[in-house]
Structure 1
């Protein structure tokens, strides 16, 4: 959301109030506002004092009503629902062994995919200054902050990490027989499962879950299980699509 705000400011786009400054809270509200897809959530606020006309945010005290197709939409619903899914996914990327939840970060291509083999925590990118020698390294979070876990994982220089990844990719591409055999097995497995769960059926289930996710998110209800099922169905749908293309 910070990048969206900076992009709007760089392009000279004004806010609804005609201001040049964009706040991330404004971007957040825009991304979650169902009015852009033609729907309306009623009773977002309610009156607590009719004499003073005081209204407060409805946190479940008063029943809410979600109306679809209330007015003309300006954003396709499927794009809006994908945004809601992404917001949920970025909220908690990984839950540590001590129960702490790690949020999303997209500052580097290795972010959140380098996992410690000793304690299971993620590695974090930091700028290292060792006796005047500056470098960029990756270090286990357990060695950077108190996590309740004792870890002895070594610091990894970023250049070493980059070289290891490149070598692994080259090794994989160099030995085609190994991954081609695995790819064929994966394709066959996907095709078999696709016979039971067609792409149309998955899409239909996704649409129902997306609407349910949106309603629960707006009414502040728990929707973690729905989000997990949506992600699984998305992955299953992509596998079905890839299998169909390769098969034909």
Structure 2
């Protein structure tokens, strides 16, 4: 047996001593999904509560001599099937900034229920970043992995957690569809005019006397010839609180000394067009709660759950369809003989950046059609503050600006900024080209993500087919799930086509943008602003009552107040 030198032995002892002196900066991570409502799950939810998870982690740390808590990272109401969570992302930012080098969770299921991604973090990402990972109740510590058997045990637990998430997703969807068939209301806040009560395991709507009278009055006012603005004024004069305040406080009328805000016209229209008031429940219009498909998306109208005569009606069907007919006539009248359809709307290049400088509201574009003696027609545009028509305390001062005036002011502001910043045209075009490459990278990532989603649905469909063939799923359920999966695949294929089209247009838009800047620098009046140029150059444009327009640039944050020639 070879002898070990004293020097080498001392170096080993020093190294071991240093290792024992390491103090870990710990991030405690806790996650809770709070979708369940059943009483049978109450104890399970209590055991998995955020407070319980944190206490278990803190109790573990209390018995360690080499750990100090840096922060706790929480995700409430977040699924474990993906890692797009605010608390998790904040924790990973702190990991990258070397603020924490140890992560502790109650158990592996709290960290994630996707066995592939969970395993990727535990086996690859955390070791690479020098992060120790501990799941307390699963007795897992990445620093003390004994061998392949323990790694296999962790992978099996992660796989079980993922299968649990899949099973729950299917059961929740099936339960919801069953409740829809029974005429049970599955929404959260009941519609205005109703209250919701549980009758056994069925949630039913019952007429609420005071608010239902207001709903009836809104229908009566509209059928008597009142327009949306006049109905809003009547509601304000009666001191009737908006729906949001009513649902928060339970008060129908504004108390003395309280702040009263007017209803929006959109809310009034929503009341007038909601079939719930004739005793009809229309549910399942959006989806966002399926396993591995958490982004919310609309469902085609033919697939909505429509159940008639589920509760007492506030409005008769005759009155409801009279209102619907009046809306239809109004729509036809506005587009009579294709007058406006023959002059399509132009793209609003200032849609995302133009604000009222006095109240901060986003400016509204107003379109009008001008007809010449030659019978030619052209659209003209202007912008005003939407709050100038309000009748409550939030009413803003009158202001508007024409599109032509705004175009001239913004182009002059860009020209001045380029001159003051001494930016060369070569630098601008190079920056635009680099931005185009960055955008293409991002859109390609989105394309890959959509491909993964389609693959996940296809995989899920295969698993459901196996369950059906093995007798674990009824034929009707399998047929419904297959149809539902096919529709989801079609939705993501459509998005994929849109992304591909966006990728094809990036280079063209970049060429157009560079052409604009060349023409602008040369002083050409023919240079046309585009939405892409505005988004690239400008963060915000503010219009003030005293004929000022403030342009806030994105690349330098310079503020250039300019006098508007046609500001009213």
| Higher RCO structure, 1 or 2 (CA under 8 Å, sep 6+) | 1
- If the length of structure 2 is used for normalisation, what is the TM-score? 0.18
